[in-house]
Structure 1
Amino acid sequence: MTAAILAFLALGLFGLHASGLRAQDTFRTRPDAVVGEQLLLEHFPGGSGDPTQIIGPASEADRLRELAAGVPGVVTVSMPVQVDGLVYLEATTADTTGSDAAFATVKHLRSAVHAVPGAMVGGSSAVALDTQASARHDRNLVVPLVLSVVLVVMAILLRALVAPALVLATVVLSLAAALGVSAVVFDRVLGFAGADPSFPLWAFVFLVSLGIDYSIFLMARIREETANHDTAAATVIAMRTTSGTITAAGVVLAGTFAALLTLPLVFAAEIGFAVAFGVLLDTFVVRTVLMPALAIDLGDRLWWPRRTRERYPKLLDSQYDSAIDHG
């Protein structure tokens, strides 16, 4: 049931818009810069204050200007400025810098001007688009790499394969649930326009590292207790001896990250909420309820391929009750 609830909460991930924020959406307050930009947008094209930049060979100046002017979404193109064999032009877009429409214009603009060898397109929207692509690449590389390394380290530590896989599965489920709830809160409660492209990776790094830390602490203690008890009794004893430490650490960390919610920056608030909520979810639900329950259900199979049953026979019911009473 607990796993099903966490999986349901993870569905909110489909509503996480981590494609970047426009400049005016990066603040939770309304500083003068935001007010001025909104006033500018009421009277001029969206890209007026931050035009897209085009650089190419000076010999192709007229062609570059013609190609840029023919791109949908481009309102005007400045006269070319030639320096040291290069030409510089500014293309004013109809859409606000950093918006999805501006990203589409940059893509079309690049497709058009790249017909000229050596031509390049830059500017704030182009940088944001490249940052988005870079963040997606880093996420696809770092996430499986980190999870693989964690799995290997835990397998060596616990001398088993099932236990590390169980830990990793619960950590990933906890992370997905935390991000799912965060996406709903950002959109429905806090009214944020979206999230920074690097937000999912930062949340992954913080929550996985903290979740694995708590899991190692708990699972290592369970493994130690299997020297004298079966897995079920060892889990109960380990929970009684480690739950106070894990709970205290989780509350302190959650409070620390929650302090980021007081900052006026959207990115800081998003990281603060996601990590604080994720830590509390991991502390009070995953490490306290889900993982111990799964460990008890699996029993000695948790330590496969290590054969604990042959070394440590299963306790009788009276011994099991005694182990719990003296845990």
Structure 2
Amino acid sequence: MKEHTGFGRFVAGPKTKWVTLAVWVVLVAVLSVAWPMVNEKETNNAPNLPEDSPSVQADLVAAREFPSGEGLPALLVWQRTGGLSDEDLGNIQKLYAKLTEDPVPYQAGEVIPFDKLPLPALKQQLSEDGESLVTPVFFEASAGAEGTEEGLNRVKEMTTEAFGANPFDQDLNGTELAARITGPAGISVDATGLFQDADVSLLIATVVLVLVILLLIYRSPVLALIPLVAVGFAYGVISPVLGYMAGEGWITVDSQAIAIMTVLLFGAGTDYCLFLISRFRQDLYEEKSRKKALFKALTQTSGAIAMSGITVIAAMLALLFAEYGAYYRFAIPFSVAILVMFIASLTLVPAMLAILGRGSFFPFVPRTPEMEEERARRKNKPVKHRKKQKDDAIGRLATRKPWTITLVGLVLLGSLAAVTPQLRFTYDLLSSFPEDMPSREGFNIIGDKFSPGDLAPVKVMVDSTGQEVNLQESLSGLSFISDTGEPAQGAVNPNIAAYDVKLAVNPYDQEAMDRIPEIRSAAEQALGDAGVSDPASKVWIAGQTATQYDTEVVGERDIMVVIPFIIGFITLLLLLYLRSIISTLYLMLTLILSYFSTLGLGWLILHYGLGAEAIQGTIPLYSFVFLAALGEDYNIFLISSIWKKSRSMPLKQAIREGVHETGPVITSAGLILAATFAVLATLPIQVLVQFGVITAVGVLLDTFIVRPLLVPAITTLLGKWAFWPGKAPEQVDDIEPEPVPAKG
């Protein structure tokens, strides 16, 4: 044993266990004081599209040539069933008079003089049924969500003063005047508030859920707390480290990333802890010395844990190759979180187990048969021998009926994967927020009461280079455009003209996004017909629809780059770890099949079960990164056990014992991981609900179908070929004893 205890003695020896614990305590204390927590350095409105995206370039041209100087708009939506009264309109005018005299914090630009308009002129801006009116207030773009929220709160106070009541609390379907704040400013404030609330509720729900599951599975209060304490210490290091990196400008973190990172930390961190703890418990039944049992467990599991950690870190770092900002910003925070948790599972957890010893499993303390006999003699009680079972029903099923299991598994997963072409995607972030969120309610009123194109006009800009271009007529001739405004002349380059185009469809829908190339093609055609050279470089399209279209294009590019990289990297790691081309191949194929079946089953649940019309376009890549990294952990843990056992026993017996040995811990780890992701489904943010459901489904498929049944069955079918070109076991089949006939 001595040759295998070097690392164990270093982190969990008689003295070093206390040193390890002290190092973690001091590290957390010092970092917490020296550096800010990551929550203090959130940036929730960082750009997602790269600078060379067409819509980003168009925004730059628009800002230079057509500066409004107005800032970020907050749209005040006024609504009264039956029609707005003259008194309502008069009070709105009073409010805008106050905003002119006493601007709210971070208010930008000049206030539109609604108070100076005659009442008949103001009524012309009402919706056709006279029930709704939209009036803007502009805020400094640099104010951020907190500054904008401060300004909007003051607007609400001034509104209450002007109206003698608070219309922002009124029901939209009631007879009283109701108001909502939407537009970029209102949406930004509401979204930030949702994610901030999600951080706290998510953390509490995750901790409670993990604790309950651990108590139900292991029935030991001490054991249930060990992974949570380890995760807590890890987070105590991760948060200030990320906070420092964000403060220095090395990384950017937002509320959504922190929320998902919390889930990842508890799910993956608990898995790593359980891999070691379960092995330690098994060894305590065979080793009287808890020190030897711990060192043995650490030796047996450290390789698989290290491999798992490297796999997850590599998958997360692959996001650095993404161009979409939300993907790219996830890479470093998630990698740092897993790295710290991985180190904690191999240092802090062994130290705590060394300190607590067998007491970690109280009241169901694992003891050797000799210890049980001695304990029974002292208490004058009969000895209760622990039943030793070398394999279980699942392992026997996989090795006795491998063809049946393989075919059924492939048909089931293949059928679910066949659903994926039905998936529909959306890039409208607002649609993922709760329907009763004020900014979404106001947005819906604008869509219902006014022209759909009024929600977000498309700004088409062209450089005519002095040629006469009749673009207005070309755009107006497109069937999906309801109105094309008069051209505006550029402030810097007078040859640049801008047209505000209103679409006849909802500008946030996929249908509108698909029209952007047609609008660009029409503009280029008009320039080309007018004799403008290289028209493709002289057309710019700005607006939310163009931004969403570019988001789709960039997202599809990232999928084509990141997913192959992750597949290639995990394949390389498996080859190095297993030294087998065949096993690496079928493990990767089952991973890919499991991913597509997860998307199919996830869509069935979200669409037919929860009524989602579409899922956010970012979900497929996020899901693959997490499922590929975390799901492969279980295969690594299982296969490494089978490989080790095959050196001393027939392969089929090694498979059965490997399934039995790793089954309980992988099942419990999978349940915990799936449950932590499922917690996201309790939040009021659809993008997190969808991500949580799909990822949880994927973990469960892997835990209960791919890992215990499909992989062992395929390994059985392949036999010695599963090890090619590595060294295969000498014996594949084992001779099972004939059943003894019952007497009588």
Tell me the TM-score normalised to structure 2 length: 0.41
Matched, 1:111 2:521: yes
Mean CA deviation greater in 281-290 or 104-113: 104-113
Matched, 1:101 2:511: yes
CA distance in 1, matches of 2:455, 2:597: 40
Give, in angstroms, the shift of residue 318 of structure 1: 6.3
Amino acid at match of 1:44: F
Equivalent of residue 690 in structure 2, options 270, 282, 302: 270
Q: Given that residues 653 and 734 in structure 2 are in contact (C-alpha distance below 8 angstroms), is that contact kept between their aligned partners in structure 1?
A: no
Select the structure of larger CA radius of gyration.
2
Matched, 1:295 2:715: yes
Mean CA deviation greater in 49-58 or 276-285: 49-58
Q: Given that residues 29 and 264 in structure 1 are in contact (C-alpha distance below 8 angstroms), is that contact kept between their aligned partners in structure 2?
A: no
Q: Given that residues 52 and 124 in structure 1 are in contact (C-alpha distance below 8 angstroms), is that contact kept between their aligned partners in structure 2?
A: yes
Equivalent of residue 195 in structure 1, options 612, 615, 618: 615
Give, in angstroms, the shift of residue 226 of structure 1: 1.8
Amino acid at match of 2:483: T
Amino acid at match of 1:281: L
Alignment RMSD (CA, Å): 2.2
Q: Given that residues 17 and 194 in structure 1 are in contact (C-alpha distance below 8 angstroms), is that contact kept between their aligned partners in structure 2?
A: yes
Give SS of 1:53's match: strand
Matched residue, 1:317: 735
Amino acid at match of 2:470: R
CA-to-partner distance for each residue in 1:118-138, whole Å, 9 max, x for gaps? 121121111111111221222
CA distance in 1, matches of 2:727, 2:515: 62
Amino acid at match of 1:99: D
Matched residue, 2:543: 123
CA distance in 2, matches of 1:177, 1:316: 34
Amino acid at match of 1:79: E
- Tell me the percent identity: 26
Give, in angstroms, the shift of residue 72 of structure 1: 2.4
Matched residue, 1:73: 480
Q: Given that residues 7 and 173 in structure 1 are in contact (C-alpha distance below 8 angstroms), is that contact kept between their aligned partners in structure 2?
A: yes
Equivalent of residue 279 in structure 1, options 685, 694, 699: 699
Matched residue, 1:144: 564
Give, in angstroms, the shift of residue 68 of structure 1: 2.6
CA-to-partner distance for each residue in 1:30-75, whole Å, 9 max, x for gaps? 3223322332223322121210112232746863333333332112
CA distance in 1, matches of 2:593, 2:512: 35
Give, in angstroms, the shift of residue 140 of structure 1: 2.1
Matched residue, 2:492: 84
Equivalent of residue 436 in structure 2, options 30, 53, 71: 30
Equivalent of residue 169 in structure 1, options 589, 595, 611: 589
Distance 1:181 1:318, change over 3 A: closer
Amino acid at match of 2:705: V
CA distance in 2, matches of 1:159, 1:68: 61
Matched, 1:133 2:553: yes
Distance 1:181 1:61, change over 3 A: farther
CA distance in 1, matches of 2:435, 2:452: 21
Distance 1:46 1:142, change over 3 A: same
Equivalent of residue 13 in structure 1, options 420, 432, 449: 420
Tell me the TM-score normalised to structure 1 length: 0.89
Mean CA deviation greater in 273-282 or 103-112: 103-112
Amino acid at match of 2:431: D
Q: Of the two structures, which has the highest relative contact order with CA contacts closer than 8 Å and spacing of 6 or more?
A: 1
Equivalent of residue 457 in structure 2, options 51, 54, 58: 51
Distance 1:170 1:5, change over 3 A: same
Give, in angstroms, the shift of residue 91 of structure 1: 0.7
CA distance in 2, matches of 1:91, 1:21: 20
Matched residue, 2:93: none
Distance 1:292 1:315, change over 3 A: closer
Would you say how many aligned residue pairs link Structure 1 and Structure 2? 317
CA distance in 2, matches of 1:208, 1:79: 52
Distance 1:70 1:314, change over 3 A: closer
